[in-house]
Amino acid sequence: MSSRYAARRDRFWKLLKDTGVNAFLVTDETNVSWLTGFSGDSSWLLVAGGKSFLLSDSRYETQISEECPGLEALIRRTDQRLTQVCGEAIGSLKVKRLGVEGHVMTLEARDALAAVLGNVELVPVSMRIENELRSIKDAEEIAETRQAVMIAGRGFDFLRATLRADQTERDIAYELEHAMRKIGAAGVSFPAIIASGDRAALPHYRPGDRQVGGAEMILVDWGCTMPSHYKSDLTRMLVFGKPSAKFAKVYNTVLEAQKRAIAQIRPGAKCGDIDHIARSYISQQGYGKRFGHSLGHGIGLNIHEQPRLAPGSETILKPGMIVTVEPGIYLPDWGGVRIEDDVLITKDGCEVLSAHVPKELDSAIMSW
């Protein structure tokens, strides 16, 4: 396993040739984890050619030795800050240009680091790990995501089988999380969205104390996190009784937009073009102004990763990328419909990892 992370660090270092840096300081905790296998926090990774150092504190000394065999740890004293430990390491390596994650590091951290580094130039380099490495999953990452999608699907089956009219949105969210944990999840990818009735018009609604009985619809946006921290992210609708003509039209519009977009997902496609396919269809049906977010995003160790299926994005899809595809239509004072699947880009097209979770209109119909 340690060789897996060493190979990742080697790939990362090769990416930095065009920056001219002598070393690179990784401060984003997820990136540190991806490059080392370390599951703790409050730690930095210093990469300099074939050498790597994990900067941390005594709380994690044993954990680092267990999770990161072969990786040298620099443990700060209780009277030290990480910036001081970093300064000592940089000094011993005779670094003149240090790369830092410009999109992560705060001005305060930058100033503190500059104070101990003296004449070392800090070079901001943004999103190289996220865009060029983490966005493409290896076989183990794909397997973990596949398992997260499977558990999420089983959790939704539980929700459907146990749903009662007297339950509140918050009750349903908590019971869904409990069910997924019992199946094998470490937790949820994000607090589940259980939005009933007109609350479904709020894309990032927080479940409240409203009882769901009497609502025409419930929007369920949920996912689980594996012990490995890989995640899933799905959305399905429930409608009670015979769907109204309005609900059926909105639902089928969203579903058709999603199907058209997924049908064009393949290596070489532009993310912006995939977004346009779904967005243009929704606009043709008269709901263009009611689809206000991007079509999708990457998932992995974080619930929102690269790439993004967004208007104007020039990012090219590659095998191994995993993205959500989640068009939606939101009508104030009525409700909304969003349908979301997790999609793996393959060598010759794509695979819908969540295909086992039904999404045709008939499958959404329930009765109390």
List the domain boundaries for the chain. Answer: 2-134, 139-366
Q: What is the pLDDT of residue 296?
A: 98
Homologous superfamily of 139-366 in CATH?
Creatinase/methionine aminopeptidase superfamily (3.90.230.10)
Q: Confidence band (pLDDT; 50, 70, 90) for 45? A: very high
Average pLDDT of span 141-167: 98
Could you give the strand order of the β-sheet that contains 72-75, starting from the edge strand earlier in sequence? 72-75, 51-56, 44-48, 23-26, 97-101, 121-125
Q: Rounding to the nearest 10 degrees, give the CA dihedral for residues 142, 143, 144, 147.
A: 120
pTM of the model: 0.96
- When pLDDT is averaged across residues 226-232 and rounded to a whole number, the result is 97
Q: Does domain 2-134 have CATH number 3.40.50.11540?
A: no
- Contact status, residue 160 vs residue 218, Cβ threshold 8 Å: no
Phi-psi region of 349 (alpha: psi -120 to 50; beta: other; left: phi over 0): left
pLDDT greater than 90 at residue 224: yes
pLDDT of residue 40 exceeding 90, the answer is yes
Q: Read off the pLDDT of each residue in 225-250 and give the average, rounded to a whole number.
A: 98
Other beta carbons within 10 angstroms of residue 142's beta carbon come to 18
Separation of alpha carbons 74 and 87, rounded Å: 11
Q: Which two tokens stand for residue 302?
A: 């974080």
- At residue 315, the 3 state secondary structure works out as coil
pLDDT at position 2 is: 75
**pLDDT value for 31:** 98
Q: Using CA atoms, how far apart are residues 226 and 303, in angstroms rounded to an integer?
A: 12
Instruction: Give mean pLDDT, residues 275-302.
Output: 98
Answer whether 288's CB lies under 8 Å from 279's CB: yes
What mean pLDDT, rounded, does the chain reach?
97
CA distance 200 to 212: 12
Q: What is the tens place of the pLDDT at every residue in 165-202?
A: 999 999 999 999 999 999 999 999 999 999 999 999 99
pLDDT at site 368: 86
Among the residues of the chain, which ranges form H helices? 2-15, 29-36, 61-67, 82-93, 107-117, 128-129, 139-162, 169-183, 245-263, 271-284, 361-364
Question: pLDDT tens digits for 321-348?
Answer: 999 999 999 999 999 999 999 999 999 9
Share of the chain above pLDDT 90, in %: 98
Cα–Cα dist 345/322, whole Å? 6
Q: How far is CA 332 from the centre of its chain?
A: 28
Over its C-alpha atoms, the chain yields an Rg (Å, rounded) of 23
Contact 321, 298 (CB under 8 A): yes
Region 225-237 average pLDDT:
98
For residues 147, 152, 158, 160, the Cα torsion angle rounded to the nearest 10 degrees is: -140
**Is pLDDT at 222 greater than 70 in this prediction?**
yes
Cis peptide before 307, with omega less than 30 degrees from 0?
A: yes
Helix (H) or strand (E) holding 328: strand 328-331
For residue 1, pLDDT over 80 is answered with: no
Quick one: residue 51, left, alpha or beta (phi over 0 = left, psi -120 to 50 = alpha)?
beta
User: What pLDDT is recorded for position 50?
Assistant: 86
How far apart are the two ends of the chain, measured CA to CA in Å? 50
Q: Which of 135, 128, 71 is nearest to 99 (CA)?
A: 128
Tokens representing 166? 């007297």
Whether the Cβ atoms of residue 133 and residue 151 lie closer than 8 Å to each other: no
